[in-house]
Structure 1
Amino acid sequence: MTHLYEALWERPRRAPVLALSLVLGGLVIALLSVALPAGQPAAALLLDHQAGSPPGYPFVYPFTVQNLTHLILFLGLGEIFCRWRDAAYEHALIAEGLLPHAYEVVLQSHDLPAIRARVADRHDGERGFLPGLIDLCILQFQASRSVDQTVSVLNSSLELLGHRVDLRYALLHYLVWVIPTVGFIGTVIGIALAMSLIDPSAAGQPLGEIARALGVSFYTTLVALAESAILVLFLHLVQAQEELAVNRAGHYTLVNLINRLYAG
């Protein structure tokens, strides 16, 4: 039970969290299918669940464009959850007080091994911005006895951390792009279906079926754009928190380690 708690909350692992997100997405679709009977306007808008599909319509419920975008949305929310928990972990490390805060403290070479031992197991290359910075800066200072070189290493490390944070959002940026793309594909299919119902040689046109096909096509785009907007909002909020954690870690290291180093 403890292992499951750590894998899903304390230190989320992406694979089980993303799998659980898809399961939750499927449950939400099932609940909406029960709550919104086929043929209702809300069912047609949110799920493309209609009493009878237009002639030639390729999607059979529940395999619809809207349901696909719902699953992609939940996949993105699962990834955002992982990023949010990682950002919360980084902010919690800063609040732990890994370095002395008293203004009169000066750190000399013999003080550093104890600090390094305290943070050595708190970072692993993926998590632990602050412990990683402290460890690297102490190593550099012990090797060079130069505060200037230590500051240079700190600046380079902060740039690399910033790039690492950006790379972590590659999947989310793709999902934000693919949701409206899937919606537009549904729109194109719906318009093509509506056009196929038009027979120039026929005296009367099936206007009702044409209108239904166009309605389906516009619904897919509407739902996809709304869900993409939701995902973009959460993406920017969480990414800002993770970037703030990098800035806070750099400032904390500069104030409480670099500025206290004494090379004499």
Structure 2
Amino acid sequence: MIEKRIYRLLISVVLTIVLTAILVFSTSSESPNRILVMLGGTMPEGLIQSFTYFFFFFGGLEVLALLQRITHENDAFTAHLLPETENWVIGVDDVNQLKLNMQKLEHSQKFLLTDLIKKSCTKYRLSKSSSEVLGLVDAQIRIYNSEMESEQSFIRYTAWAIPSVGFIGTVLGIAASLGYANEASTPEGVAKVTNMLAVAFDTTLVALLLSIVLMYGIHYLQKKQDDLFAQMNSYLIENLINRFYK
């Protein structure tokens, strides 16, 4: 997990460097395009935008990685791990066989669902109580959810860092413009002040736009995560717990 995160971190650095280079080389020094300047096409003023791009790429890659994991976990439902035929009753011997089947499957690929089925089968063998198995399923799903939530800590950090870096750029831009206040009586001084103010507000604008896109990805990820665990709970209740032989 750590190695993959470092890999995504390096990819984010490379993407940031490539995008910054494209913007800088595309911006003409004589008559620069306003949009390219706003996106960070001039240096060193565009360094703030480069930092926001880095956090955006890293956060986006983290979101994509978790979405890919959720897609993998959803594949377990298409494997028909539990009997789905109507009126199928599961006895003690069937429970033992189900657990063995999950153990064999995990030699080739692991899912949260196979782990949950194994734990449910073990609990039923010990207690012979459907209600206790249901309690275990609910508790275990909460644990899975908490573990996946903890993996999103870097995503939440990037979502906070992007607008924060933009605001830092605004403060630096305003401070730089105030440094030219003594020259505001000349046309050249006015141009310097307005240029620095433009840089100040450009950094915030870019940061907020990137934050909007990343926040959409985060909320979409949360929805897919909630859907996964809701479906997992429903699948266990319908195809395992409700089929136990009383």
Is the pair's TM-score, using the shorter chain for normalization, greater than 0.5?
A: yes
Q: Give the letter aligned to residue 222 of structure 1.
A: L
| Partners of 2:104 and 2:53 in 1: CA distance | 40
Give a deviation string over 1:143-184, Cα, whole Å, max 9, x none: 111111111111111222222232222111111011000000
Q: Number of aligned residue pairs: give it.
A: 240
| Partners of 1:236 and 1:36 in 2: CA distance | 35
Equivalent residue for 2:199?
216
Q: CA RMSD in A?
A: 2.3
Q: TM-score, normalised by structure 2?
A: 0.89
| Partners of 1:145 and 1:167 in 2: CA distance | 34
Tell me by how many angstroms 1:123 deviates.
6.4
Tell me by how many angstroms 1:122 deviates.
5.8
Equivalent residue for 1:239?
222
SS state at 1:71 partner? helix
> Among residues 27, 33, 38, which one is paired with 1:45 in the alignment?
38
Cα contact 1:73–1:231 (8 A) shared by 2: yes
CA 61–218 in structure 1, closer or farther in 2 if over 3 Å, else same:
closer
| Partners of 2:157 and 2:115 in 1: CA distance | 29
Equivalent residue for 1:89?
72
| Partners of 1:203 and 1:170 in 2: CA distance | 50
Tell me by how many angstroms 1:121 deviates.
6.1
Matching of residue 152 in structure 1 with residue 125 in structure 2: no
What are the residue-to-residue correspondences of 1:89-168 with 2, within 5 Å? 89-120=72-103, 128-168=111-151
Q: Give the letter aligned to residue 22 of structure 2.
A: L
| Partners of 1:43 and 1:140 in 2: CA distance | 62
Equivalent residue for 2:190?
207
Equivalent residue for 2:25?
34
Q: What are the ranges of 5 or more consecutive residues in structure 2 without an aligned counterpart?
A: none
Q: Give the letter aligned to residue 44 of structure 1.
A: V
Q: What are the ranges of 5 or more consecutive residues in structure 1 without an aligned counterpart?
A: 1-6, 51-59
Tell me by how many angstroms 1:43 deviates.
2.1
| Partners of 1:24 and 1:114 in 2: CA distance | 50
SS state at 1:37 partner? coil
Equivalent residue for 1:17?
8
Structure with the largest fraction of helix? 2
| Partners of 2:100 and 2:177 in 1: CA distance | 69
Q: Give the letter aligned to residue 113 of structure 2.
A: L
Q: Give the letter aligned to residue 20 of structure 1.
A: I
Matching of residue 174 in structure 1 with residue 162 in structure 2: no
